[in-house]
Chains A and B, each alone.
Chain A
């Protein structure tokens, strides 16, 4: 379909966006536009300082337009529809980025990557999985997260759990001890569905392994497979034993984090951004809270870690691609900017030159855990195409509501996922 016609048709819906896009002197070579979902108060302030640093160094002004995290998902789509994408935008590495690449909306950055020597800057585990799509590089990692079992230290110690459970049996024994102590072992806030996905991610990774999970994520394996049934079975037995809080679907992830902070529950499986949240309400990393990695379930299965990578990409029709490339290079390779950013976001820097002294004790441990892992996997909704992720996320919420229906739920999920893959 020809672009002009589409642009005309959509001009109406996008009047405000188009207006900004076409009225600014967009041909000025010394300006780069960026849109991103880092809208927290600290995030916006920090990013502004970082962008000011970029201007001081390169003379290029960055015009940034932040959009709230959830609204970003629709906002960026609306801009893409009007062919009014900013030069640079933040996006989640993995299937979502792949989706935008398939639509022909991103610009490859291989030559910039090589010229800037980013192979020596970006952590290899992140570079391999997050930046390359269809053999070409498209994305620069801005920061990344790791998901683990974050716990309330005092509650754990009171129940006599001082060692991190290494195996599944030890983990279940710890849950039993906590329960005997009158504490709910696990908080989960699956109101917005995604927090539940980490349980599925880790259980399938620890039992069937990363290769099988990759097949499930790209549609060559089935949700009705025995591998999936086994993982869900382990999850079910935990719910049946009362290890999870009641009404998980009624809580948001911060509600669940609050339960752990208050000591109503002992732990929650969450990303490192929880440290940013807990620090902001006055908890001390390493003293009040800590984490341990998800235990081994089946011996011999490769050790994988789960988390999302926040990336930056350049749109295919960028008005100032050279400036955009300079900006991307600066944002990932300047160690000072990276350190500042990681601190604000409660994230890990993808830049290997960031001094470890920039991290607190818990984040350092997360870094070591990732270094020791054989695979870095993106969480579920970033690993499988968005239409399938929608189906799966609903499945987890439904499972938490009534685990006894697990087999029927899996069969229906497979049917819906198969038709979503066929689209």
Chain B
């Protein structure tokens, strides 16, 4: 009985494990391997070049700007959806009229794919008839046709706003869940003791929401490292690489310039950075869990 149990356990695990090895572990190892070659993606002949690709990263202007853009994205992506999501959650939780409807409205973007969200925002940012410029024209009563996505100064930030619009829904939901976990009698006591709303939020609610905040921030950080799909739809990293992020840069080097070896090296770096950050996030989560759990 026991023996056959073990057999079945192993047997049932074998399939998912081998699939995992085949489509996750193997490609990962391949990337590491190709990162040390000058393979162009097509040829059978390529050389082992040691750390050359990794050394090249530091003199690559486009890699550096992609790295900076990734950091900018991460910084904004941590602040914007978190603050907005929290505010919305607090508002809805305070039983404003129509709360449930707003909850649905703000949650809806999560159900859309990045491709759809990207396309919608491309229309919003369209210079001649886009929603944003039309509103600005209406308010200022002056012709306004700034090309948000086609200007190097604004392209990256415009995409981040679009991304945050979608991410806000998720952080709102996480915060709402966190709010329901706060005991109602605790808040009643606050009220009886005469605490203002702000004091209540500042000293009771926010500290108790720490676990939710850690989850939201961790998700934002991890998602910004992966940032590719919505960027690909909205700007493709352009104009002239001004909104490139690391994943985009890797794609361009590998598939547009046919530098598969170099692209693999970039993905290795990206992987290591992501691994480090995700570890930090999990550590933080564990700590929070110990305190609040």
Decide whether A and B are members of one complex. yes
A interface with B by C-beta (< 8 Å): 1, 3, 6, 9-13, 15, 73-74, 77, 80-81, 99-100, 102-105, 191-193, 246-250, 386-387, 390, 394-395, 397-398, 401, 420, 423
Nearest residue, chain B, Cβ from A6: B44
Q: A6-B44, A386-B258 are in contact. Are A12 and B240 (CB under 8 A)?
A: no
A1 to B40, CA, bound (A): 13
Is B173's beta carbon under 8 Å from chain A? no
Set of chain B residues within 8 Å of A386, measured between Cβ atoms: 256-258
Which of the segments B26-34, B95-103, B269-277 contacts the partner chain?
A: B26-34
Check if A12 sits within 8 Å of B239, measured CB to CB: no
Q: Which residues does chain B contribute within 8 Å of A248, judged by CB atoms? A: 150
Main secondary structure of the interface of B (DSSP, over half): loop
Say whether B43 faces chain A, with CB atoms less than 8 Å apart. yes
When the two chains form their complex, are residues A193 and B150 in contact, meaning their CB atoms are under 8 A apart? no
Give Cα A100 to B27, complex, Å. Answer: 24
Inter-subunit contact A80/B258 (CB<8 Å):
no
| Bound: A249/B153 CA distance, A | 13
**In contact, A12 and B257 (Cβ under 8 angstroms):** no
Could you tell me the distance in whole angstroms from the C-beta of B25 to the nearest C-beta in chain A? 8
Query: Which residue, B26, B29, B149, has most C-beta atoms of chain A within 10 A?
Result: B26
B241 near A394 with CB under 8 A, answer: yes
B23 interface residue (CB < 8 Å to A): yes
Interface footprint category on B: 35 or more
Q: Are B45 and A12 in contact (CB under 8 A)?
A: no
Question: Which residues of B sit under 8 angstroms from A12, Cβ to Cβ?
Answer: 22-23, 25-27, 30
The docked-state distance in angstroms from the alpha carbon of A159 to that of B241 is 39
B109 within 8 A of A: no
A-B contacts, 27 of them at CB < 8 A, read A3-B44, A9-B29, A9-B30, A9-B33, A12-B23, A12-B27, A73-B255, A73-B256, A74-B255, A77-B41, A80-B42, A81-B41, A81-B260, A103-B40, A105-B43, A191-B238, A246-B127, A247-B145, A247-B150, A249-B147, A249-B150, A249-B151, A249-B239, A390-B252, A390-B256, A394-B238, A401-B150
Q: A105-B42, A249-B238 are in contact. Are A99 and B258 (CB under 8 A)?
A: yes
Decide if the interface of chain A is mainly helix, strand, loop or mixed.
helix
Chain B residues whose C-beta falls within 8 Å of the C-beta of A390 in the assembled complex? 252, 256-257
Q: In the complex, which residues of chain B have a beta carbon less than 8 angstroms from the beta carbon of A193?
A: 238
Query: Closest Cβ of chain A: how far from B107's Cβ, in Å?
Result: 31
Enumerate chain B interface residues (CB-CB to A < 8 A). Answer: 22-23, 25-27, 29-30, 33, 37, 40-46, 126-128, 145, 147, 149-152, 236, 238-241, 252, 255-260
In the assembled complex, the CB of B129 is this many whole angstroms from the nearest CB of chain A, namely: 11
Contact A401 B240 (CB under 8 A): yes
3 smallest A-B Cβ distances: which pairs?
A: A12-B26, A103-B42, A103-B43
**A77 and B255 within 8 A (CB):** yes
Interchain CB contact (< 8 A) of B147 among A1, A80, A100, A250: A250
- Which residues of chain B are within 8 angstroms of A15 by Cβ–Cβ distance? 22-23
Given contacts A99-B258, A103-B40, A387-B259, contact A10 B126 (CB under 8 A): no
Q: Does B240 contact A397, Cβ atoms closer than 8 Å? A: yes
Given the complex, which residues of A lie within 8 Å of B46, measured CB to CB?
A: 1
A247 and B127 within 8 A (CB): yes
Min distance, Cβ B252 to any Cβ of chain A, angstroms: 7
B127 to chain A: which residues have CB within 8 Å?
246-247, 250
Q: Which chain A residue has the least Cβ–Cβ distance from B59? A: A419
**Which residues of B sit under 8 angstroms from A104, Cβ to Cβ?**
43-45
| B30 pairs with A401, CB closer than 8 A | no
**How close is B131's CB to chain A, nearest CB, in angstroms?**
15
* A250-B127, A250-B149, A401-B150 known; A102 vs B43 contact (CB < 8 Å): yes
Residues of A within 8 A of B37 (CB): 1
In the complex, A423 Cα to B40 Cα: how many Å?
A: 10
Question: Is A1 a contact partner of B45 (Cβ separation < 8 A)?
Answer: yes
Taking A99-B258, A390-B256 as known contacts, 14 extra A-B pairs with beta carbons closer than 8 A to each other, sorted by chain A number, are A9-B30, A11-B22, A12-B22, A12-B27, A13-B27, A77-B41, A77-B42, A81-B260, A247-B127, A249-B151, A387-B257, A394-B240, A394-B241, A401-B151
